[in-house]
Structure 1
Amino acid sequence: MSGLVDKGGALASSGAVQGMRLVRVADFSAPLSLSDADRPSYVRRFVTLFVSQGQGHRGGTGRVEHARNAQGEHLALKLLSLPHRRDGETEEDHERRVRASHAAFEREYECHILLSGLKGFPRLYGRGTVDGVPCIVMEWVEGITLDRVRRQLAVDGSGRVSPLVAARLGRDLFDLVARMGYVEGGFVHRDISPRNVMVRTSRLSLEQQVDEGVFDLYLIDFGSSAESEPRSTSFTSENAVFRGATADFAPPEMLSDDIPGLAELRKSPAIDVYAAASVVYQLACGQAPYDLRAVGEDGAPVSPYRAKMAAPAPAAVMAHARADELLEALAREPEVAVAVQHAQDKLSAPMGVSEAAEALSFVDEQLGIVMGDCLARGQSERPDAAAVRDALSSFSIHYADNVERSFCGRPLVPCVPGGFAASALDVADSTLAHVRMACKGVAAAALAGVAVSAAVLANGAQASLVAAGFAWSGGLPGVAVAVAALFPALVGLSLRFSGSRTTAGFLRGTAGLAVTFAALWQVLADMRFEAAAQQHLLSMALVAAVAAGWCIMVADFALNVALPQMIRRKALPSGDCDGADALPSAAAPALEGKAGKGEARQVCGLQAAGASDADEPGVPADIRDEVCGTNPQPEYEVDDLADEVSGANARFAGKRDALDDDMSEGA
């Protein structure tokens, strides 16, 4: 297509017809008020369009075509799809459905006007007709839908993405949902699904957005949308037709017409909260919350409404839940792998793979709780979109910290909005540190008090020592007594080196203190004092000084190693870890801050090679190739409906993925 554009961006007339068809938009009107001077030039931009052949796809109430104007601007042209006459349908009934389709298309345009100009929603340029068929001209969004994103970013064979990535996508999706509340009177989309949410890739590729941790999301297709406080009689009641929401992601109130107060329920923003949470659930768990293909005891299919009302949504099972797939998942999510390695560095010994999976799942459970709240069957029980956005933002910000906390048995930063809760938890978490410091302070004060007291009481005491050919007699200097009292503790503390919070450091320090104490005790036993009471006094002082010094090490060990491990094991039950189960430091690419996606892909390639020439078990070929970089997907997706259907069936047999999931679209 670049050959059709001149240096200024306008279409070159010499090749404008190749692969494109000329379209005239009649009766074009703008969605905004224009002055008489500006209107002619604005209309000229959109009345003559060049539509790309073979780049169209379905879009709610119509079909969306990729078009360009004479200036080379990329546009989306949405044409109303008129209903075909059914077998046995009367002319009157068919005409009624045609009128309803026209009214629905008009209503979609009016709803789109309300959001045009807001970030994350395609800009609306106007409407008109093409050969008598109503059309809408809007911004062309170049990107891929969340269905395709899930396949490209999957970290396991079930199509799950990293919980951290799912939370970040959810945060940005709920930001769009919250932004719809800026519209006067409120606005409800009513059909949020993976095929209606796009990641725009014209500025940053999907991989770059994953690295940045922020996604350029667009919400499209307003065929089911409505104002929360409509200014006129609803389209549904006027025309007795409603373009239903996607059942896998829609709340119960969108799946039945037999609910009291249905009209008001379907104007609630809680509808979009439920649907957006269902999308995040599918990203994190690889499937929608409910299996709507289930059948009842009599073998008859269960209606989607009854399936969703019968029981709460199943608990989320995310990518870190299975220990046998953990290393594979970490190789595909380097940011989480680095967090795991940093957490491992805080432990006295490497954690086992099964225990690490439980620790990570303990962190991921917060995301599942947020989604579970959003999937409540009653609208009043669901949080508002802004609160969910803030909760997912908190989850994402504190994820690495919470991984370390979970590994070390410390309380997690709660997944709640605002900084106060995190600060409050830090205060609560610091209580353990305060207790440790207080214990060490008391022990140090006792050690110093014993040393000073012994020095004062024994200063100048007459004593003699004869041992191994060495003989000495005279008055004991108080400074020497104080140093001798402090010496075992100083040796023990120095032998810990930097391992004050490790089991090995504690054992080294204890051994050094014990050996030094034994040596001084022997020296004291060989000494002779004029007053026997002085020898007893120094013996007790030495024991007290050693006990105080050991208490300092015990406080560091018990409150930094032993107690947190007990807490973690209580919260995360696990068995003993043998060598075969140890989580290797190479589970993630280098597991250092410099580790990147290239190294992660190298690990993935090595695992595949080690599994012989056969495909890696449990991982679909398209997911493995995309993650490992052997079969990169183009940034610009072009939809061919037949190819898409066959591709979806071939790669995901038995799954009901959307047919339009990997195309670039405007609505």
Structure 2
Amino acid sequence: MGHVWQGRDVYLERPVAVKTIAADLLALPDWRHTALARFEREAKAAARLDHANITTVYDAAVTEDVCCLVMQLVDGTTLDNVIDGADGGRLSVPMAVSVAAQLCSGLSAAHEAGLAHRDLKPQNVMVRTSGLVKILDFGLVKVLSDTDPRLTMTGETLGNVSYASPELLAGDEPLDGSSDLYAVGCLLHHMLTGRPPFHGEGPAELLSRHLTASPPRLAAHGADAPGAVQDLLHALLAKRPEDRPENAVDVYAALAPYLPAPEPALAIRRMPPEDPRRPFLVPPAIISVGSSR
């Protein structure tokens, strides 16, 4: 969909990430008439999101020649690199659950604001060196796919389809937060087993499996996880949105018993980088909300 550049805000003197929309997309006939206005609306909505697990949008530029988002520059790596670097290409249950819980925490804020991501995948999830998980690209995916539905089936096709909900693949509208919860289920399965839940020789076969195949059991791929985690995963991967958990808060609550136990003493120790358990092992300080005099 474009390029991401590391830049610097010369006024505030801070590093930023600048995502520019590809020139060939700007040349689409419908873009000038509808998509630019939609992009501006979505960018404003994304900028209103204020959550630790969502990358902050600082600014946007919409002109005749440039369409871009200016965002927080995240120090860390993408989730696919974390998985690839794990022992056997799999995360432990506490690590996988902590990533999924952080995703649900961020999604709960976005869904409350009426935003669905529509393209959650390992490359759109950053893990900071502190272990904090950050969701990328709110405000862009919906605009681009609405402008030209073919965009969802080009480029990184296989990667996108591996985590896409049945209703997204079927072209159903409108999509809501339930579609993102299906993607969380796909990501959780990938983290625990080292592979997405469904496979195919090409996009068409993979799409068919999302639409018709039963959710696989973790044990079938050699993953040892509590039965309740498997039951939750099965519910997240339900074909019909109404059969999935009601919202991201409910999913977080179901994951909570399997989060790593908080260990504040670790705050003074050196921890491995890109450890997604850290926010739960070293929870943020409590913010006191009181009146000042």
TM-score by length of 1: 0.35
Deviation at 1:77, TM superposition (A): 1.6
1:263 alignment counterpart: 173
Q: Pick closer, same or farther for the CA change 1:317–1:111 going to 2, 3 Å.
A: farther
Please state how far the C-alpha of 1:396 moved relative to its aligned partner.
Answer: 2.8
Which of 55, 64, 69 is matched with 2:9 structurally?
69
Deviation at 1:103, TM superposition (A): 5.2
Identity %: 25
Q: Deviations over 1:587-612 (max 9, x none)?
A: xxxxxxxxx999xxxxxxxxxxxxxx
- Cα drift, residue 106 of structure 1: 3.3
From 48, 59, 70, the equivalent of 1:114 is 48
The alpha-carbon deviation at position 95 of structure 1 amounts to 4.7
Query: Who is 2:257 aligned against?
Result: 394
Of the candidates 152, 167, 174, which is equivalent to residue 97 of structure 2? 167
Kept in 1, the 8 Å contact 2:55–2:136? The answer is yes
1:108 Cα deviation after fit: 4.2
Over 6 Å off, 4+ runs: none
Aligned match of 1:191: 119
1:305 aligned residue: 207
Which residue among 112, 126, 135 is the counterpart of 1:219?
135
How much does 1:63 deviate? 1.4
Deviations 1:460-484 (A, max 9, x none): xxxxxxxxxxxxxxxxxxxxxxxxx
Q: Output the CA distance in 2 between the equivalents of 1:107 and 1:62.
A: 19
Q: CA–CA distance in 1 between the matches of 2:42 and 2:162?
A: 22
Q: Is the 8 A contact 1:160 1:318 kept in 2?
A: no
Among 4, 22, 30, which residue is 1:81 paired with?
22
Decide whether aligned partners of structure 1 residues 274 and 280 sit closer, same or farther in structure 2, where only a CA change above 3 A counts.
Answer: same
CA deviations over 1:62-94 (Å, ceiling 9, x no partner): 311111133531111222212179xxxxxxxx6
Q: Is this contact kept in 2: 1:107–1:235, CA < 8 A? A: no
User: How well do the aligned residues superpose, as a CA RMSD in angstroms?
Assistant: 3.3
Is there any run of 5+ residues in structure 2 with no aligned partner, and where?
Answer: 154-159, 262-268, 275-293
Report the Cα distance in structure 2 between the residues aligned to 1:111 and 1:244, rounded to whole angstroms: 22
Return the alpha-carbon distance in structure 1 between the equivalents of residues 161 and 229 of structure 2. 23
Contact 1:290–1:308 (CA under 8 A) maintained in structure 2: yes
Q: Deviations over 1:157-195 (max 9, x none)?
A: xx1111221112111111111222332xx2211111111
| Per-residue deviation, residues 624-667 of structure 1 (Å, max 9, x unmatched) | xxxxx9xx99xxxxxxxxxxxxxxxxxxxxxxxxxxxxxxxxxx
Aligned-residue offset at 1:139? 1.5
Contact in 1 for aligned 2:53/2:103 (Cα 8 Å): no
Matched, 1:291 2:162: no
AA partner of residue 377 (structure 1): K
Gaps of 5+ in 1: 1-60, 86-93, 205-214, 227-233, 295-300, 322-360, 399-595, 599-628, 634-667
Tell me, what secondary structure is at the counterpart of 1:368?
Answer: helix
| CA shift in 2, pair 1:144/1:254, >3 Å | same
1:178 aligns with 2:108: yes
Determine the C-alpha separation between the residues in 1 that align with 2:28 and 2:183.
33
Equivalence for 1:155: 87
**Contact 1:224/1:242 (8 A) holds in 2:** no
- What is the number of residues matched between the two proteins? 257
Deviation string 1:293-352 (CA, Å, 9 cap, x unpaired) is: 26xxxxxx744332122221111148865xxxxxxxxxxxxxxxxxxxxxxxxxxxxxxx
CA contact (8 A) 1:313 1:372 kept: yes
The structure with the largest alpha-carbon Rg is: 1
Post-superposition offset of 1:122: 2.2
Please, what TM-score do these two structures have when normalized by structure 2? 0.75
What secondary structure is seen at the aligned counterpart in 2 of 1:77? strand
